[in-house]
Amino acid sequence: MSLLLAFEAAARHESYTRAAVELSLTQSAVSRQVQALEQQLGLTLFRREGRQVQLTDVGRLYQREMSEALGRIRSATLQAMAYQSGGGTLRLATLPTFGSKWLLPRLHDFYKTHPGMLVHINSRIDAIDFETSGIDAAIVVGTRDLPGLISHRLHAEELMVIVSAHVADTHAIWTPTLIAEQRLLTVANNPNVWGDWFSHHHLPHRMMRLGASFELTSHLIQAVRAGIGMGLVPRILVAEELASGELISLDLPFASQRNYYLTYPPRNEMLPSLQAFRAWLLEQI
C-alpha cells in the first residue's frame, strides 16, 4: 500500500519533491518506492528528465484507475469513522458569490442538526477535477449534467437587470430599448448573457454596448452599486440588495438556459457527510 500511495502522490504532482512533502517522506524514499512498484509491475511509470519526472502513457492510465480505487478506500474509511463518531468532514467547492450570498448565510442551520460535521468551503470558478483536487462535492452552474458525475438540480437560473437606485431614478420608465442603450457589464464565465437577453426582447445585437467584464459576480454587483453600468445577474444573488432598495430591478426575471447543480463522483455517493449535506441542501431548495 505504501508503494501505491507514493506513486499516486508523485503522479498527481508529477514531482517526487512535492509528493515527499505531502507524505512526510524524503524525496529519495518516494523515488525508491516508485522504482520498487515499477519493478513489481514490470512497467515504466515515469520518464525521468534531469531532475524532473513525467508520467508515461501507461503511468497516466494507471494513475487514473488507482486514484479511483484509493478514493473508494478513503470513502469507506471515512464512512466507518463517521459511523463511530457521529461526525464527518465534507470538502465542498462552490461558486464564490453563490457561496457568500446564498450558502453561507444558511449553513448555520446545517450545523444545528449536524453539530459533529464540518464543511470546508473552497471557492472555485473553473471546472473541478475530482481526481486531483481532493474535493468531495461541488456546487456548479451549467446547462446540463456533467458526464461521469452524479448531479442534483438545485435552482433554475433566473436573471434580472439591475442598476443602482441613483441610476434608476434618472428615468421614470425603463423600456428594453432604453436598457439596451446603457453600458452593460458582464461576468467572464457567462459572456453571452446579454446576447440572450437581447434575443429574448427581439432587439438587434448591434445596439449592444458592453462595458467591463468581471471574474466574480460579486464584483459586478459592486460595480453596479457604484453606478458604473447595468448588470444581468442571478436573482438569488441579489435578493438582499433588492429587498433593501440598494439595487433596483428594471425588468421581469429572465430565465437563462443554466441551472445550479450539486455534483460529485459516484464513489462519494455514500460518504456520510455528503449524504447529510445533500439531504439538507435539497430541503433548503
Q: Give the count of alpha carbons within 13 A of 154, CB side only.
A: 24
DSSP string, 187-237: ETT-TTHHHHHHHHTT--GGG--EEEEESSHHHHHHHHHTTS-BEEEEGGG
- Single out the residue of 172, 185, 160 nearest to residue 247, CA to CA: 160
pLDDT, residue 189, reads: 86
Distances (CA, A) of 35 to 2, 55, 128: 12, 13, 31
pLDDT, residue 78, reads: 65
State the architecture of 88-155+260-284 in CATH terms: 3-Layer(aba) Sandwich (3.40)
User: Digits of tens for pLDDT over the chain (285 positions)?
Assistant: 889 989 998 998 999 998 999 889 999 999 999 999 999 999 999 998 877 899 999 999 998 888 878 877 776 676 666 555 556 789 999 999 999 999 999 999 999 988 888 899 999 888 888 877 889 999 999 888 788 899 999 999 999 999 999 999 999 999 999 999 999 999 998 888 999 999 999 999 999 999 999 999 999 999 999 999 999 999 999 999 999 999 999 988 888 889 999 999 998 998 889 999 999 999 998
In this structure, the number of other CB atoms found within 10 A of the CB of residue 116 comes to: 12
Q: Which residues have C-beta within 8 Å of that of residue 102, sequence separation ≥ 6?
A: 236, 237
pLDDT, residue 202, reads: 94
Cell matching residue 197: 437577453
pLDDT, residue 171, reads: 92
pLDDT, residue 69, reads: 81
pLDDT, residue 115, reads: 87
Q: Is 67 exposed, middle or buried (0-12, 13-18, 19+ CB in 10 A)?
A: middle
pLDDT, residue 235, reads: 92
DSSP string, 23-91: HT--HHHHHHHHHHHHHHHT---EEEETTEEEE-HHHHHHHHHHHHHHHHHHHHHHHHHHHHHS-EEEE
pLDDT, residue 86, reads: 52
pLDDT, residue 203, reads: 95
Domains 88-155+260-284 and 157-255 share a fold: yes
pLDDT, residue 178, reads: 94
User: Domain locations in the chain?
Assistant: 2-82, 88-155+260-284, 157-255
Q: Which CATH number fits domain 2-82: 2.60.40.10, 3.40.190.10, 1.10.580.10, 1.10.10.10?
A: 1.10.10.10
pLDDT, residue 84, reads: 54
The answer regarding whether domain 157-255 maps to CATH 3.40.50.300 reads no
